[in-house]
Structure 1
Amino acid sequence: MDRVQIVHDNFLRRVGDGDLPAGRPPAGPLAPEQAVSIFRSGCLSRALDRVSRTMQAHGQGYYTIGSSGHEGMAAVAAALRPTDMAFLHYRDAAFQIERSAQVPGQSITWDMLLSFACSAEDPISGGRHKVLGSKALNIPPQTSTIASHLPKAVGAAYSIGLARRLPPEHKALADDAIVICSFGDASANHSTAQGAFNTAQWTAFQSVPLPLLFVCEDNGIGISTRTPRGWIGASFSARPGLRYFACDGLDLYDTFRAASEAAEFVRTRRKPAFLHVRTVRLYGHAGADMPTSYMNRETLEAEEANDPLLHGVRLLSEAGALAPDDALAIYRDTEARVERIAAEVVTRPRLSTAAEVMAHLIPPPRTCQRGNGPSLDARTRAFGGDLKPLESPQIMSRLINWTLIDLMLDHDEIVLMGEDVGRKGGVYGVTQKLEARFGRARVIDTLLDEQSILGLGIGMAQNGFLPMPEIQFLAYLHNAEDQLRGEAATLPFFSSGQFTNPMVVRIAGLGYQKGFGGHFHNDNSLAVLRDIPGLILACPSNGADAAMMLRECVRLAREEQRLVVFLEPIALYPMRDLHEAGDGGWLHSYPAPSERIPFGEVGRHGDGENIALLTFGNGAYLARQAQKRLADEGIAARVIDIRWLSPLPEDNIIAALAGCRRVLIVDETRRSGGVAEALMALLTERTTVPHARLTAEDSFIATGPAYAATMPSADTIVDAARALVGGDR
């Protein structure tokens, strides 16, 4: 049977008959007018759920995961301020509706129906997805990725305290704001959620301000799997550093009381809290879900009898705020209004072309204050004893370190974070002395959790900071990659560019470390990064390029609001020599702070026309060695350093190859899913030049003497180039 219709009919009949569920009398600080507003929000949320199913049945709507049973979240919204950033669970329509009543000029019914219809006029996603979200309401949009929004909520909350001491230029959150993050009881078990809870507790345990309110909407079931009775309370009621509050989400008075107390605690104590809201889930998980296939009828009907709107009618009547007949009239009028607006909404335009869908993959640029660079006195103090070595050629790791100093001097909103980046200065010394120079507020030693590191960066970026998270090794990214794919990169896409989280993620990676760590510290897999729409992936091959590219990456994040990954080849950090011991061929002078390599500009060494060695990272270093040996054999080669691995600078690559009669791609990533696949396609589609590829094997990397056996070498580059050129010299 149609459970949606059953719940609707039950409401009309029971209110009309005065057959309301029993419960505690209304109690708490909720004023009559506000209580009626919360009920109205619940009625609108319910009507939207009903009409969404009708729209889908007629091919005019595309989303039916509803909020019915969770109408109590309107009371949570009423207890908060619209300046409190809210990362919402997808069942929180009532929250957004009630918050809209706190902000003048909203047309919430029209806007939410546009979202159900996937209309291009939807003010938040522009028709790309049915999401809750609003710039005016301070609600960044979330998709239904399980719990992945919790780490960035921790980051946003942390940023509020830091912004009090170090206000960023594009600060978005008020000093007295808090952050709310809601989720379901099933999602609370996800490793991402558990990491966020632990990070919040870890932070609070050290008395670091973290004004964050976790809200768990406990309806007792995750799609079809029951949450053990009492599990959420038992799991969260006694966690260190996380104050626990609980309420009956069917009781709008009790929910408002508990939410008000929790919000007051978080706002005044600047510590995290956990609000446990017990709810029911009506209609099943989504439109196509049949709850009777996994729930017995008695349980299902018992939950339907506990309809929070029925409890609301009783409570409002007992409080003298609203008579049952008037409550019934609100329900009916709301339903009629939603149906009338829906009939108009379904006629509004929808996206139809790839260009329209992709219009906001890349966020809009923003105006930034122009600086004149760090002053001489500031540089003298920051560099200290490193001023004299600035004049002589250095290894890559040191040049990156100096670049970070200049960037942090020039842009106060830059904050570094990661494992061991502070006191230790990083595993390879790249962030050495930065904590001493800029303080622990701007160089943050985090706990050991990559999801939390990236979440900290994403959340801070939404409050105007320019985070530079460090992932210690590329292999460590893979347990946290969804923070980039599912959260950071999608935010401008799902918000039509209204919300952004620009940042530069530094990752030490790739192979060729001699005898250290095997596959876990030598990882040559980049497919997951190159697969993320809108993400920029940069990879330098030498210290001077690293300095100038990192400056450009910061500019891209700061001014163009881009999500950038800066991949630093570990094996090249200490490299000094190129052809023979002591030649210093891979040492470079520190470029002046104003020098940058523009996004998409490739590097070129030599003008040889016999063959081009098209490569990047360690491949560029090895290709330069091969280039000299080929020249000794009469083969004139040029080395093209791609530098920018995603998106590939296709036009610049083609231009750099002009005049060459052969192309050998040298790719240290794997044959399957590696960079060479895209380069082969590019050359095939846009040139007639004979070309081949030399790649790493489809293998993990070994420790010990065979550390480089699966990847290209100078010898194999020479052999492949010689074979490709043949007698054409």
Structure 2
Amino acid sequence: MDRAQIVHENFLTRVAKRDFPDGVAPRPGLTNPDAVSLYRSQVLSRALDRTSRAMQKAGQGFYTIGSSGHEGMAAVAHALRPTDIAFLHYRDAAFQIARAEQVPGQQIAWDMLLSFACSKEDPTSGGRHKVLGSKALMIPPQTSTIASHLPKAVGAAYSLGAARRHDPEHRELPEDGIAICSFGDASANHSTAQGAINTAGWTSVQSTPLPLLFVCEDNGIGISVKTPKGWIQASMEHRPGIKYFQANGLDIYETYAVAREASEYVRTRRKPAFLHLKTVRLYGHAGADVPTTYLSKAEVEADENNDPLLHSVRLLDQAGALSPEQALKIYEDTCARTDRVAAQAAKRPHLANAAEVMASLIPPKRVCKPTNGPSPEARAKAFGGDMRAMDDPQPMSRLINWALTDLMLEHPEIVCMGEDVGRKGGVYGVTQKLQQRFGPDRVIDTLLDEQSILGLAIGMGHNGFIPIPEIQFLAYLHNAEDQIRGEAATLPFFSNGQFTNPMVLRIAGLGYQKGFGGHFHNDNSLAVLRDIPGVVIACPSTGADAARMLRECVRLAREEQRVVVFLEPIALYPMRDLHEAQDGGWMTTYPSADRRIELGEVGVHADGNDLAIVTYGNGHYLSKQALPELEAAGIKARIIDLRWLAPLPVDALRAAIKPCAHVLIVDECRRTGSQSEALMTFFTEENPSTPIARVVAEDSFIATGPAYAAPLPSKDGIVAAALKLTGGRV
């Protein structure tokens, strides 16, 4: 007999015998009707756990990580408002069920069973995953996340204060709301959780409003590894800037009282709090997990003896709210009803093809107020003396700065954030003067933690802001890449487009920096970004293109709710000359504010038909340097600047190379995992007879010193490859 059945039969037997575990008397605070309602939510959560296992055995359900033992979260939900955004632990079905009782018109059992069955009628994910989540209940969906939702909870909490000062057009959350995130004791040890908790405290001690309630559901074990006794309390009780609360999660009266106190502290003080909730885990981790393989039978039975439903029946009886006989009747009726509803949910249609699965990868467009750009007076005030230089050619870094300034003037919901972006103006000066122009509310100097930077952006995107976070160097993204892969990019997919977190993520990267080496500052690998479905990757090569593309990136985020990565080639930031010193050949003038480069639009330079050089970033610069030698050799070439690396602009590429006899790909990323692999495949599939070759970086890290460019494509390498491909000669 499995443990789920044992727990079920123990409940039936012990309630009938009035054999309850010991515990304290009910604390005041809950009315009898509310207590009974919470019990009903707990029972439905338990029934759903049992039904999910039965559905899996019958081939009708696909998820069995349950909430049994954590049903006390129903009382936490009752202590909050249904408009308080909640990022939930995957064992929090009881929270969602109890919150549904606060919102009229919900059919929570039916909705959750559709999710178990992965029916495309599931109102949250549309059949893509069993998730806890609901737009009506302000619960963004989470899958089996291990604390990766905590950084964005910090961001959402921060956005509540920021929205009071700069109300965004598409604000989702009420001004007096709070954010909540829940997680397990094992997840609390994850670096993502520790970073988020540290960020919350770091922010709080500076008196910045951060109304966030952390809820740690401490059942003492993570799958099979025990949490040391007293560890959560010892590690969290005295964190600076965060008030600690503790409650017995087996007791709905105590849990409600303490959760109420904690949430009111957060709501009134606008400061974070940590609610440590003692729970038990019943049945094991999931359906296939047998807890007696790593726990003694006595330990398993001790937890089963502390079944929170048994405690609830005892407490309700003592409070005079519900007799054990009535409680048992509710339990039996709920189990029977859940089975009946499950039988119907299992018959509902599923996603049938790739197109249906992928339908929510790209978020829906939203209606935005028209903007006419910043006024001449606002621009004159913001730019000051820079206005006089706008007709003169400038390097890329300065034009990006001006584009950011114009965009922030036009769209008050834009907020920039990152390490050193404010007072210092960024490592390379790209964000200089922005904090002076727009204040620390809109140009935020963050702590040194990439996960927290991206979490801040994701959370603010939840509340209508257009975040523009900065990662100082491409290599630093690897510390936090899951915030894009596992959180930002998946949110529309798992919510059927109901929740979005648009942003424009600026990253300084790629190679060719003199004096820098290793994989920390000269990083020429984009593979970690290229395979994330739905993410747009932009990479400009000139200053004018950077300004026009950045405007399109902001439009994509604002109007189409996209997650966009804007990759800025560091070596081209200060580039002035092309062929000779002081020729100024790589500088451009600032394009007028109404000019954009649309997603999928490539750049075509020169009009030769012998050879198409397909490239981007530094490759465009090197290819331009190579053109005179190719022309001297009699090769008439054109350069196609990709600009958009994901999704590849295949339609524009097809048209641009059509007249050309040969195709040469110049890719500054590594031979393995680079854009060149996808481009080679595309061109070969399009026209197998067209001769094609590539010049790429070696599969190597980059050295410091004179050899910095040795593994990278060069002008001479491009010329040699072009001559070999076309049969030309010098």
Q: State the TM-score, normalized to the length of structure 1.
A: 0.99
Q: Write the distance in 1 (CA, Å) between the matches of 2:18 and 2:388.
A: 86
Q: Write the distance in 1 (CA, Å) between the matches of 2:642 and 2:628.
A: 20
Alignment match, 1:178:
178
Alignment match, 2:192:
192
| Conserved? CA contact 1:610–1:728, under 8 Å | no
2:645 counterpart of 1:645: yes
Alignment match, 1:719:
720
Q: Write the distance in 2 (CA, Å) between the matches of 1:519 and 1:655.
A: 36
| Conserved? CA contact 2:215–2:277, under 8 Å | yes
Q: Write the distance in 2 (CA, Å) between the matches of 1:398 and 1:352.
A: 50
Q: Write the distance in 2 (CA, Å) between the matches of 1:518 and 1:321.
A: 67
Within a 5 Å distance, the mapping from 1:370-449 to structure 2 comes to 370-449=370-449
Deviations 1:706-727 (A, max 9, x none): 1110000001000000111104
Q: Write the distance in 2 (CA, Å) between the matches of 1:535 and 1:117.
A: 29
Alignment match, 1:263:
263
**Matched residue SS, 1:695:** strand
Q: Write the distance in 1 (CA, Å) between the matches of 2:306 and 2:728.
A: 84
Alignment match, 1:302:
302
**Matched residue SS, 1:141:** strand
Alignment match, 1:235:
235
Deviations 1:405-445 (A, max 9, x none): 00000000000000000000000000000000000000000
Deviations 1:382-421 (A, max 9, x none): 0001000011110000000000000000000000000000
Deviations 1:271-329 (A, max 9, x none): 00000000000000000001010000000001001000000000000001111100001
Alignment match, 1:611:
611
Q: Write the distance in 2 (CA, Å) between the matches of 1:23 and 1:727.
A: 89
Alignment match, 1:453:
453
Alignment match, 1:696:
697
Displacement, 1:21?
Answer: 1.0
Alignment match, 2:34:
34
Q: Write the distance in 2 (CA, Å) between the matches of 1:371 and 1:542.
A: 26
2:204 counterpart of 1:204: yes
Displacement, 1:171?
Answer: 0.2
Q: Write the distance in 1 (CA, Å) between the matches of 2:57 and 2:148.
A: 31
Q: AA paired with 2:478?
A: H
Q: Write the distance in 2 (CA, Å) between the matches of 1:418 and 1:28.
A: 46
Alignment match, 1:462:
462
What root-mean-square deviation, in Å, do the aligned CA atoms of Structure 1 and Structure 2 show?
A: 0.8
Alignment match, 1:541:
541
| Conserved? CA contact 1:519–1:703, under 8 Å | no
Q: Write the distance in 1 (CA, Å) between the matches of 2:242 and 2:721.
A: 60
Deviations 1:344-399 (A, max 9, x none): 11110011200010000000000000111100100000000100001111000000
State the 4+ residue runs in structure 1 displaced beyond 4 angstroms: none
**Matched residue SS, 2:132:** coil
Displacement, 1:143?
Answer: 1.3
**Matched residue SS, 1:21:** coil
2:625 counterpart of 1:625: yes
| Conserved? CA contact 1:474–1:508, under 8 Å | yes
Displacement, 1:582?
Answer: 1.2
2:100 counterpart of 1:100: yes
2:78 counterpart of 1:73: no
Q: Write the distance in 2 (CA, Å) between the matches of 1:146 and 1:596.
A: 40
Alignment match, 1:130:
130
Q: AA paired with 1:585?
A: G
Displacement, 1:459?
Answer: 0.2
Alignment match, 2:481:
481
Displacement, 1:634?
Answer: 1.3
Question: Structure 2: any 5+ residue segments left out of the alignment?
Answer: none
Q: AA paired with 1:570?
A: I
**Matched residue SS, 1:44:** helix
Q: Write the distance in 1 (CA, Å) between the matches of 2:721 and 2:92.
A: 59
**Matched residue SS, 1:140:** strand
| Conserved? CA contact 1:518–1:707, under 8 Å | no
Alignment match, 1:532:
532
Alignment match, 1:52:
52
Displacement, 1:610?
Answer: 1.3
Within a 5 Å distance, the mapping from 1:81-96 to structure 2 comes to 81-96=81-96
Displacement, 1:145?
Answer: 2.3
Q: AA paired with 2:685?
A: E
Q: Write the distance in 2 (CA, Å) between the matches of 1:453 and 1:438.
A: 19
Q: AA paired with 1:725?
A: T
Alignment match, 1:272:
272
Q: Write the distance in 2 (CA, Å) between the matches of 1:262 and 1:457.
A: 26
Q: Write the distance in 1 (CA, Å) between the matches of 2:220 and 2:519.
A: 42
| Conserved? CA contact 1:622–1:714, under 8 Å | yes
Alignment match, 1:581:
581
Alignment match, 2:710:
709
Q: Write the distance in 2 (CA, Å) between the matches of 1:670 and 1:489.
A: 25
| Conserved? CA contact 2:184–2:219, under 8 Å | yes
Alignment match, 1:289:
289
2:329 counterpart of 1:360: no
Displacement, 1:30?
Answer: 1.2
**Matched residue SS, 2:710:** coil
Alignment match, 1:145:
145
Deviations 1:219-247 (A, max 9, x none): 00000000001100111111111100000
| Conserved? CA contact 2:633–2:729, under 8 Å | no
Q: State the TM-score, normalized to the length of structure 2.
A: 0.99
Q: Write the distance in 1 (CA, Å) between the matches of 2:519 and 2:343.
A: 58
**Matched residue SS, 1:693:** strand
2:154 counterpart of 1:160: no
Q: Write the distance in 1 (CA, Å) between the matches of 2:443 and 2:37.
A: 45
**Matched residue SS, 2:369:** coil
**Matched residue SS, 2:668:** strand
Q: Write the distance in 2 (CA, Å) between the matches of 1:721 and 1:146.
A: 49
Q: Write the distance in 2 (CA, Å) between the matches of 1:685 and 1:475.
A: 33
Q: Write the distance in 2 (CA, Å) between the matches of 1:422 and 1:482.
A: 25
Q: Write the distance in 2 (CA, Å) between the matches of 1:2 and 1:579.
A: 76
| Conserved? CA contact 1:535–1:562, under 8 Å | yes
Q: Write the distance in 1 (CA, Å) between the matches of 2:517 and 2:505.
A: 22
**Matched residue SS, 1:580:** coil
Displacement, 1:635?
Answer: 1.1
Q: AA paired with 1:454?
A: L
Within a 5 Å distance, the mapping from 1:656-695 to structure 2 comes to 656-687=656-687, 688-695=689-696
Displacement, 1:28?
Answer: 2.5
Deviations 1:507-554 (A, max 9, x none): 000000011243210100100110100000000000000000000000
Q: AA paired with 1:225?
A: V
Question: Structure 1: any 5+ residue segments left out of the alignment?
Answer: none
| Conserved? CA contact 2:633–2:728, under 8 Å | no
Q: Write the distance in 2 (CA, Å) between the matches of 1:643 and 1:235.
A: 48
**Matched residue SS, 2:546:** helix
**Matched residue SS, 1:630:** helix
Q: Write the distance in 1 (CA, Å) between the matches of 2:288 and 2:515.
A: 54
Q: Write the distance in 1 (CA, Å) between the matches of 2:143 and 2:404.
A: 34
| Conserved? CA contact 2:89–2:145, under 8 Å | no
Displacement, 1:651?
Answer: 1.2
2:532 counterpart of 1:559: no
Q: Percent identity?
A: 72
**Matched residue SS, 2:217:** strand
| Conserved? CA contact 2:723–2:729, under 8 Å | no
Deviations 1:54-86 (A, max 9, x none): 000000000000000000000000000001000
Q: Write the distance in 2 (CA, Å) between the matches of 1:651 and 1:413.
A: 33
| Conserved? CA contact 2:181–2:213, under 8 Å | yes
| Conserved? CA contact 1:541–1:572, under 8 Å | yes
**Matched residue SS, 1:309:** helix
Displacement, 1:31?
Answer: 1.1
